[in-house]
Structure 1
Amino acid sequence: MSARISAIQPSATLAVDSTAKALKAAGRPVIGFGAGEPDFPTPEHIVEAAVVAARDPKNHRYSPTAGLPELREALAEHVGSTSGLPIEPAQVLVTNGGKQAVFQAFATLLDPGDEVLLPAPYWTTYPEAIRQTGAVEVPVLAGAEQGYVPTVEQLEAARTERSRMLVLCSPSNPTGAVLTPEQVTAIGSWALEHGLWVVTDEIYQALTYGDMPFTSVLRAVPELVERTVILGGVAKSFAMTGWRVGWMVGPTDVIKAATNLQSHLTSNVNNIAQRAALAALTGPTEPVEAMREAFDRRRRLILDKLAQVPGFSVPTPSGAFYAFPDVSAVLGREIRGRRVDSSSELATVILEEAEVAAVPGEAFGAPGHLRFSYALGDDELIEGIDRVIALLSE
């Protein structure tokens, strides 16, 4: 195998989820908090649109690599409404899920030796995708004490003459942190001042809670429009993780180049899934709001339960569906005769002793933490955290 491919680490989140499912299949009552996957079915009107599309012969053929024209138009309107800027369909590329959008954005904009400022904790795929281009990620760690949000001063301290790009993810996977409008403005203005590209992952934009709004970087700093690529997808907000429809939105020349790349990788996205995504974007919003309200209830529930775990410190997440407790106070102790010196070791002990699966912070560039997804049923959520409470209270 090539050195480039051999160096890729498997997705930690998918690995934890696979382990939990394998143990459950073997008869063990494992409760998995690992996958960022809504437990709701895809809304019925979306499924029905796919059924109708599957029966239409026009969807049985190749379609434009960049996406169905109707879907690109809907996405241009959707992104335009959140960014506050006019977006043209030519600025939109439909991809096979959000991950393909991530890889293609980096592949289109980065060269070997470029540096990418990557706020940490970060989603586990970002550094792997950056490295595939020959570029180098430069983590900028923001801890629990600052709500997992980096300051401009931290970003500036990490910037060098090789810095080409800043990656943003708000609401955040893995922390659930949401940048305030003021923070987005400050960070975006700093990126503009220094001529950086901004790649902003907005896949969780519909999932914010309380009084916290979602703020697109282009709404805050519209002058960045020629140096920003927006990433998104239907997976999280519409419970469509398996449908695999994502998108890139950016300057026309960037999207054209990324489309050329995709023409040699995968060509068009599955037409049936594209029709379903169109129904999601243009259909009723009530199912999305109902899921958001359920996530908000589970957010409050898991925060209450995690606060009862000895040694856990949990900032309040304002978006997405993750809690990211600081567990450093637990490290260095023995649990059922096993010394635990890292969050990775703690996750292993919790899985083996309590049969609860969480993702260690090492996967996100933030040792000393665990990620718990609350995109699962209330009863399992309560039972799972109660097991962790019981284990760490011994």
Structure 2
Amino acid sequence: MVRISKRMSLVAESPTLATSTKVKAMKAKGADIISLTVGEPDFETPKNIRDAAIQAIQENKVNHYTPSAGILPLRQAIIDYHQETDGVQYELNQVMVSDGAKNALYTLFQVILNPEDEVIIPSPYWVSYTEQVKLAGGKNILIDGVPENNFKISLEMLEKHRTNKTVAIILNSPNNPTGAVYTEEELREIGNWAVEHNILIISDEIYYRLCYHQQEAVSIASLSEEIKNQSIIINGVSKSYAMTGWRIGYAMGNQEVIGKMIQLASHSTSNPASVSQYAALAALTGNQNFVNEMREEFEKRLDYFFPLIESIPGFQATKPQGAFYIFVNAKEAATMTGYSTVSDFALGLLEEGHVAVVGGDGFGFPDYVRISYTLNKENLTEAIKRIKQFIQLKSNRN
């Protein structure tokens, strides 16, 4: 009989990937599905980045293993980029390139957590945080944010949940799924609290170039040398440069922690794909106009799409400040349409309304759905039309 480890019995499948898989299966059977689930830009990877990858192939730079930490030029480019953008300085032994930001987080948790170590996670949270902590033997300590404060947590809430087993806190700003952005003052308070209590700050900043309406995301490492030394920064090229499929992320921080992450990578992934590393190098060192143009387009889509979301019966939402998601309370809509849970409502919307959204269970808020606005205006408009028709039809039957 095949044996499965006990730790895997604790881990749930990623709901975003599960929904995406179901959408693809329905499309393969001919269904016309509009998917509002995708956590990736609908833009093409910029030509200069694609050209750099092709050139690296043609120059035979990508045929062999690279250092587990990533190629030296890319690590230096990451250092230079954050020196210029955030005013922080890292050394080469404080930077590790990984197979996407998700892998950087997974590797980090494996390195820092012992059984029953506690990690504070503000909720709603990205779906993989809790599962990765479980896989490392840690314990999730969830703090529910409130919509009135854009789901952000306070210092008082953190202190209430701190114990002698607390080893880390995860911050994600701009946030997936809410789009909330922590202010410099809020981050400084949390950072100083973490320094005082020797709690590691894991700052997931993968969306920090995607903020709207004069809102700016601040890298927590830029606030003081003490906070920087207490932080591991997670970032990558996936979101800002439309490179989700290239799978390049990175971690920056304490030399000892990064060193152990590199050591673990040498026994797991060996190294990130070499061709993707040269593409990422071009992304960070090349013209940055694409990032600004994409950000501006997402801001326009948000301004167009959010009022339409608000017009849907039974939907309630707070306008996001960053990323490219809207987190919607759909409990009333579920009740109106005869569903006992929002998860069932989301499934019905997919199967009958042919619009895919991600249920909030995996984000820690089961009364919500996450809706991505990475599609063009035509598809967003059609999605709203279908959602309204679905709700009206089911409400009349109910």
TM range (shorter): over 0.9
Q: State the Cα distance separating 1:82 from its structure 2 match.
A: 4.0
Partner of 1:201: 204
Whether 2:92 is the aligned partner of 1:89: answer: yes
Q: State the Cα distance separating 1:260 from its structure 2 match.
A: 0.4
Q: How many residues align?
A: 390
Whether 2:346 is the aligned partner of 1:380: answer: no
The DSSP-based 3-state class of the residue aligned with 2:132 is helix
Whether 2:236 is the aligned partner of 1:233: answer: yes
Q: List per-residue Cα deviations over 1:229-279 (Å, max 9, x = no partner).
A: 000111111000110111011111111111000000011211110000000
* Residue 67 of structure 2, aligned match among 61, 64, 69: 64
* Residue 9 of structure 1, aligned match among 6, 12, 16: 12
Gap change, CA 1:127 and 1:265, over 3 Å in 2: same
* Residue 138 of structure 2, aligned match among 111, 128, 135: 135
What TM-score do you get using the length of structure 2 for normalisation? 0.95
CA contact (8 A) 2:221 2:227 kept: yes
What TM-score do you get using the length of structure 1 for normalisation? 0.96
Partner of 1:347: 346
Whether 2:180 is the aligned partner of 1:181: answer: no
CA contact (8 A) 1:122 1:364 kept: yes
Percent identity of paired positions between Structure 1 and Structure 2: 38
Counterparts of residues 237-386 of structure 1 (less than 5 Å): 237-333=240-336, 335=337, 339-386=338-385
Counterparts of residues 30-179 of structure 1 (less than 5 Å): 30-179=33-182
Q: List per-residue Cα deviations over 1:140-183 (Å, max 9, x = no partner).
A: 11122220111111111111111110000001111111111121
Q: List per-residue Cα deviations over 1:25-46 (Å, max 9, x = no partner).
A: 2111110011201111100000
Deviates more, 1:349-358 or 1:74-83: 74-83
Amino acid in structure 2 at the alignment position of 1:21: K
Q: State the Cα distance separating 1:83 from its structure 2 match.
A: 3.8
CA contact (8 A) 2:194 2:230 kept: no
CA contact (8 A) 2:10 2:134 kept: no
The DSSP-based 3-state class of the residue aligned with 1:375 is coil
Amino acid in structure 1 at the alignment position of 2:234: L
Q: State the Cα distance separating 1:341 from its structure 2 match.
A: 2.1
The DSSP-based 3-state class of the residue aligned with 1:332 is helix
CA contact (8 A) 1:82 1:216 kept: no
| Alpha-carbon separation, structure 2, partners of 1:342 and 1:143 | 20
Provide structure 1 residue ranges, at least 5 long, that are not aligned to the other structure.
none
CA contact (8 A) 1:17 1:35 kept: yes
Partner of 2:26: 23
CA contact (8 A) 1:305 1:385 kept: yes
Provide structure 2 residue ranges, at least 5 long, that are not aligned to the other structure.
none
| Alpha-carbon separation, structure 2, partners of 1:183 and 1:343 | 32
The DSSP-based 3-state class of the residue aligned with 2:228 is helix
| Alpha-carbon separation, structure 2, partners of 1:64 and 1:37 | 28
Q: State the Cα distance separating 1:364 from its structure 2 match.
A: 0.3
| Alpha-carbon separation, structure 1, partners of 2:389 and 2:380 | 14
| Alpha-carbon separation, structure 1, partners of 2:189 and 2:63 | 47
CA contact (8 A) 2:240 2:291 kept: yes
Deviates more, 1:237-246 or 1:345-354: 345-354
